[in-house]
Amino acid sequence: MNINISERLKKLPPYLFAELDQLKKREIAKGKDIIDLGVGDPDQPTPGYIVEELKKTAGNPANHKYSLSRGMDRLRSSIANWYENRFGVKLDPFKEILPLIGSKEGITNIPLAFINPGDVALVPDPCYPPYKSGTIFAGAKNYLLPLLEKNDFLPDLESIDKAVLTRAKMMFLNYPNNPTSAVAPPGFFDKVVALAAKNNIIVCHDAAYSEICFDDYKPTSFLEARGAKGVGVEFHSLSKTYNMTGWRIGFVCGNAEVIEGLRKIKTNIDSGIFQPIQFAGIRALEGRQDSIVEIRKIYQQRRDILLAGLDSIGWKFFKPRATFYVWMPVLPGYTSTELSRLFLEKLNIVVTPGVGFGKNGEGYIRMSLTVPTERLKEAVERIKKFN
Ligand SMILES: *Cc1c(COP(=O)(O)O)cnc(C)c1O
């Protein structure tokens, strides 16, 4: 028999990390001491009191059953409290909040609720890959919003073709941004709201890095912008905030009709988050938030070590005010893939080529601050020696 993959799978952008993944495996097999600055996954453990809550609730048979797809009431109200404390935005825990099995789950499923085949979705480029795959799965044509250095890695909203705006149903945005580490300046979200309201476009803002910030910078939420709740939603994740990537818990909040659309999709696809993980999430959101302060301090220290190293040899970079990524222009004469290959073969350091996040990522590499400080110092030494 012939097994043929679907057109939607064929339409996904190519996976450009395959060659580097192979190369990395080969170098590790050779016994090389590889420093992996490629992963977007915190190296620090989940705070102990959150793990304890999982242990405590995992033994209760009442928590072993299917949970509700819309999440426990307690979880939704603790999300509402956390959100109001953090951003000063009030949310209705029943209509304006929906827990997710990680924000990636909601991001990839939400287009199914609002996109018809042939509709346009506005997607930033470079970007976190699920914006592209989720919209493609729903049958959308993606119109790319280039995130360019000359625009501080913000989309040029004025340059979007009028005909495209008329056909666009959804727009994805992400600040603080992965992979560029750019942040949204004051007033930016107001412009987004105006554009979305005028053209009837649902805004999906991904705020996964809202709590990973440095110096005196504190990211704002999209929903703080006047009128934002009328046009869109914001995705949040406990993954980066509480070092909980493997647990799979996040949430989306904002426009009630948009939330309800995603909820309908989800009730047909999943059966909720394992309840002990919901309890652990409640504990995380309601607990002392000093683990976040500690996490920020660690990443900031690492950022400063890496940037001081790059600075001392005259390499250019963009100093992140948020996220745990450093976005750096390639050295002259290299593509992002060539430079990543050089880093791996000559320095035994894994970095991510920008082109893997989309064509406008060409010309840059991304380095993660998710390795222990000592390893990062070692990476800096290798880079300096090589230079
Ligand atoms: C890590 C990350 C997420 C979080 O994904 P989860 O599914 O919640 O773990 C979302 N958006 C971006 C841009 C990310 O980098």
Using a 6 Å cutoff on CB, does residue 208 contact ligand 1?
Answer: yes
Q: Does the N-terminal peptide bond of residue 185 adopt cis geometry, omega within 30 degrees of 0?
A: no
pLDDT on residue 67 = 92
Using a 6 Å cutoff on CB, does residue 174 contact ligand 1?
Answer: yes
Using a 6 Å cutoff on CB, does residue 109 contact ligand 1?
Answer: no
**Separation between Cα atoms, residue 64 and residue 299, nearest integer Å:** 37
Nearest to 99 by CA among 128, 131, 74, 123: 74
**Separation between Cα atoms, residue 151 and residue 373, nearest integer Å:** 32
pLDDT on residue 386 = 86
Using a 6 Å cutoff on CB, does residue 178 contact ligand 1?
Answer: yes
Regarding beta strands 250-254 and 202-206, do their DSSP bridges make them parallel or antiparallel, or are they unpaired?
A: unpaired
Q: Which atom of ligand 1 has the smallest separation from the CA of 177? A: 13
pLDDT on residue 68 = 87
Ligand 1 center to 104 CA (angstroms): 6
CA angle 334, 30, 382 (to 5 degrees): 45
Residue for token pair 């290959």:
341
Using a 6 Å cutoff on CB, does residue 179 contact ligand 1?
Answer: no
Using a 6 Å cutoff on CB, does residue 103 contact ligand 1?
Answer: yes
Ligand 1 center to 73 CA (angstroms): 24
Q: Which atom of ligand 1 has the smallest separation from the CA of 105? A: 7
Question: Coil, helix or strand for 38?
Answer: coil
**pLDDT tens track of the chain, all 387 residues?**
999 999 999 999 888 777 788 888 898 899 999 999 998 899 999 999 999 999 999 999 999 999 988 999 999 999 999 999 999 999 999 999 999 999 999 999 999 999 999 999 999 999 999 999 999 999 999 999 999 999 999 999 999 999 999 999 999 999 999 999 999 999 999 999 999 999 999 999 999 999 999 999 999 999 999 999 999 999 999 999 999 999 999 999 999 999 999 999 999 999 999 999 999 999 999 998 999 999 999 999 999 999 999 999 999 999 999 999 999 999 999 999 999 999 999 999 999 999 999 999 999 999 999 999 999 999 999 999 988
Choose one of 104, 204, 252 to mutate for the ligand 1 pocket test, by most ligand atoms within 8 angstroms of C-beta. Answer: 104
Using a 6 Å cutoff on CB, does residue 111 contact ligand 1?
Answer: no
pLDDT on residue 379 = 96
Regarding beta strands 120-125 and 168-174, do their DSSP bridges make them parallel or antiparallel, or are they unpaired?
A: parallel
Using a 6 Å cutoff on CB, does residue 368 contact ligand 1?
Answer: no
Q: Which atom of ligand 1 has the smallest separation from the CA of 249? A: 8
Ligand 1 center to 142 CA (angstroms): 20
Strand order in the sheet with 120-125: 97-100, 250-254, 232-237, 202-206, 168-174, 120-125, 141-146
pLDDT on residue 18 = 79
Residue for token pair 């990443």:
299
Taking the CB of residue 315, how many other CB atoms lie within 10 A of it?
A: 14
Q: Which atom of ligand 1 has the smallest separation from the CA of 101? A: 7
Choose one of 41, 46, 103, 211 to mutate for the ligand 1 pocket test, by most ligand atoms within 8 angstroms of C-beta. Answer: 103
Cut 0.95: pTM above it = yes
Q: Does the N-terminal peptide bond of residue 276 adopt cis geometry, omega within 30 degrees of 0?
A: no
pLDDT on residue 330 = 97
